[in-house]
Amino acid sequence: MIILGIETSCDDTCASIVRASGSIKNPKFKILSNVVSSQVKIHRKYGGVMPAMAARAHAKNIVPVFKKAFNAAKIKPKEIDLISVTDHPGLMPALLVGVNAARALAWALKKPILGIDHMQGHAVAHLLVPTNVPKSKTQIPNSKTIKFPAVGLLVSGGHTQIILMQDYNHMKLIGETLDDAAGEAFDKVARMLGLPFPGGPPVAAAAAAKRKTQSAKRKINITLPRPMMNSGDYNFSFSGLKTAVLYLTQDLHKKYGKRLPQEIRNEICAEFQQAVVDVLLSKTLRAAKKYNAKTVIIGGGVSANQELRRQLSERITYELPKTVLKIPTVGLALDNAAMIAAAGYFQWLGGKRGTWKNVRVRL
Ligand code: KG4
Ligand code: ZN
């Protein structure tokens, strides 16, 4: 079937056409188009996403994004079989734009529509192979299936979750953040250090640069907390870590002035990133061991982090050699609508049905 995925939960206006076939155990996906219109320039000056401005930009962009997705896929609107739209979680004004555009399309085209949990999209993104326009619309490569049970680490700007998956339609939340999400902590720390929004990429780049400046004269030893690392459950807390960086930078400002030297910023970013990675990995591995996970999955914007990927892969190789790690490509780790289309396919296979009348923003 041909699925139109729509995603407007945060600051990216996304539409994607995905061809899906196969059973829940052996699904096959082919991305025919995957359009992401980023609003980063709008929100950058505020250091975070402004919900009302995000909604206004979604409203402006959504029809051009639809047109681009259909054109790139060489598919006509009437050819789609299903509309799959993120209906939660996210910013209410932003979600309203995507959900109501989707409902209007579903009504006009007389097509079924399903409301999708954004985090389920991140959980299935590893199945997708990035492509542009297909050579043949009928050719569907085998998406690699995984063995269950699987443990998923879903880390985004708004959420940090550990899920236990019995299959692609049975995902149980076993742990989550009690306060800030991992991505939010990256964004706030970046802001404290004068780095641009979104904070993940510049903080990761500064951390990587630290290795090159290790011989710098102004070297300081920084140790940040690893909150809840040994709490025995699968929950997280990142607000204390964020506050620890705030106090540290306030102290350092007294010595170095308003703008901290680059090597000091690099040191802070490296230790902050390592603290986040240590906590995320420790909980993910503990869950994988406890539930005898055959597969570990990661997804969400923070899973684009190269150190997180490298260290998780290393620890799984040593500590759980029989477990397979599934990682989405960097582009598909970030918000996109192809993952929402794929999650919609699983819901459809699971028997879920809907019309424009029963899809609503769910918060
Ligand atoms: O999943 P996502 O694209 O959007 C939400 O659903 O929130 O995640 C965005 C988050 C932002 O907080 C961003 O700073 C973070 O992912 N991020 C990263 C990296 N790239 C994006 N965090 C750490 N390292 C990265 N390379
Ligand atoms: Zn996301």
* CATH number for the domain that contains residue 284: 3.30.420.40
Residues 119-148, mean pLDDT to the nearest whole number: 74
Name residues with Cβ closer than 5 Å to ligand 2, which is an ion: 156, 335
- Look at residue 336 and tell me whether its pLDDT is greater than 90: yes
Q: Compute the distance from residue 213 Cα to the ligand 2 centre, in Å.
A: 33
CA 308 to chain centre: 14
What's the pTM? 0.95
Largest distance between two CA atoms of the chain: 67
87 in any annotated domain: yes
Q: What does the pLDDT average to over 310-338?
A: 97
Does residue 71 sit in the same domain as residue 32? Answer: yes
**What digits encode the pLDDT tens for the residues 204-251?**
999 999 877 655 556 678 999 999 999 999 999 999 999 999 999 999
**Which pLDDT score, from 0 to 100, does residue 143 have?**
55
Does one domain contain both 290 and 345? no
Backbone angles phi, psi at 130, to 5 degrees: -70, 130
Is 82 inside a domain boundary? yes
Q: What is the pLDDT of residue 138?
A: 41
Q: Are residues 11 and 34 in the same domain?
A: yes
Give the per-residue pLDDT at 220.
78
Structural domain contains residue 140: no
Q: Please, which residues have CB within 8 angstroms of residue 328's CB and are 6 or more apart in sequence?
A: 125, 126, 128, 298, 299, 303, 339
Q: How far is the CA of 81 from the centre of ligand 1 (A)?
A: 31
> What pLDDT shows up at residue 254?
95
State the Cα–Cα distance between residues 91 and 158, nearest whole angstrom: 9
Q: For residue 326, what pLDDT is reported? A: 96
Q: What is the pLDDT of residue 215?
A: 54
Tell whether 145 is covered by a domain. Answer: no
Q: Are residues 26 and 99 in the same domain?
A: yes
Ligand 1 mutation target, pool 37, 156, 188, 332, most atoms within 8 A of CB: 156
The answer on pLDDT for 133 being more than 50 is no
Whether 56 maps to a domain, the answer reads: yes
Split into its structural domains, the chain has a count of 2
CA distance 95 to 87: 6
Q: Are residues 180 and 307 in the same domain?
A: yes
The answer on 186 and 295 residing in a single domain is yes
pLDDT (average), residues 134-140: 46
Q: Positive or negative CA dihedral for 130, 134, 135, 140? A: positive
Distance 18 CA to ligand 1 centre (A): 23
The CA 357 to ligand 1 mean position distance, Å, reads: 33
- Distance in angstroms (rounded) separating the CA atoms of residues 266 and 243: 18
The answer, yes or no, to whether residue 135 has pLDDT greater than 80, is: no
User: What mean pLDDT comes out for the span 340-348?
Assistant: 98
**∠ CA(331), CA(211), CA(261), 5° rounding?**
95
Residues 93, 157, single domain; the answer is no
| Per-residue confidence band for 137, with pLDDT thresholds at 50, 70 and 90 | very low
Kindly give the pairing relationship between strand 82-88 and strand 2-7: parallel
Q: What is the pLDDT of residue 216?
A: 53
Environment class of 333 (CB within 10 Å of its CB; exposed 0-12, middle 13-18, buried 19+): buried
The pLDDT tens digits for 268-277 are 999 999 999 9
- Indicate whether 211 and 295 sit together in one domain: yes
Domain of 100 in residue numbering reads as 2-128+330-349
Q: What is the pLDDT of residue 172?
A: 98
- Asked whether residue 355 is domain-assigned, the answer is no
Residue 356 in domain? no
Calculate the average pLDDT of the chain. Answer: 94
CA distance 191 to 171: 34
Give the per-residue pLDDT at 210: 86
Q: Which residues surround ligand 1 with Cβ inside 6 Å? A: 10, 156-158, 183-184, 186-187, 198-201, 204, 300-302, 304-305, 334-335
Same-domain pairing of 260 and 280:
yes
